Amino acid sequence: MKDERIAKRKIIEQNSLEFKTKNLSESEIYSFEKLYSYLNLKLKKPINYEDLNNLCYSLFCTIDILPENLQFLKITKKVLALIRTEILTENFNEFIELDDSINEEYWIEQIRKSMINDIWPNIENAKILLESN
């Protein structure tokens, strides 16, 4: 069981590294670094999977939940997918089956399905997460 966890962790780290090297614009890289640093300070560790998904989906829909000094960032779906992947990787021990959920395409597809099915994020819960620290 431990060997299986180590193997899965290596896969996650590899996917994360590959994602980071994809073609992101300079403004997306800057936005990732700023937003990721902010979230690392604000979010309690470990964050649960549903809260993380809701937070990223909320940020996809609105940046109004961020402080004014971060609302200028270029927060694209790629930036959010990378942030989500990094946080999942950090919290790996809290998540059992991550194989699909750690890649960008999976998360973006989940957002698309939610919008098609008229399922929207709980922005109030996302605000509470960001105010908790």
C-alpha–C-alpha distance, residues 117 and 41, integer Å: 33
Q: pLDDT, tens digit, for every residue of 46-95?
A: 888 889 989 999 999 999 999 999 999 999 988 898 888 888 877 765 55
DSSP H or E segment with residue 72? none
Number of domains in the chain: 1
- Whether the bond between 46 and the residue before it is cis, its omega within 30 degrees of 0, is yes
Q: In this predicted structure, what is the pLDDT of residue 84?
A: 86
pLDDT cut 90: percent of the chain above it = 36
- Give the residue numbers spanning the domain of 9: 2-131
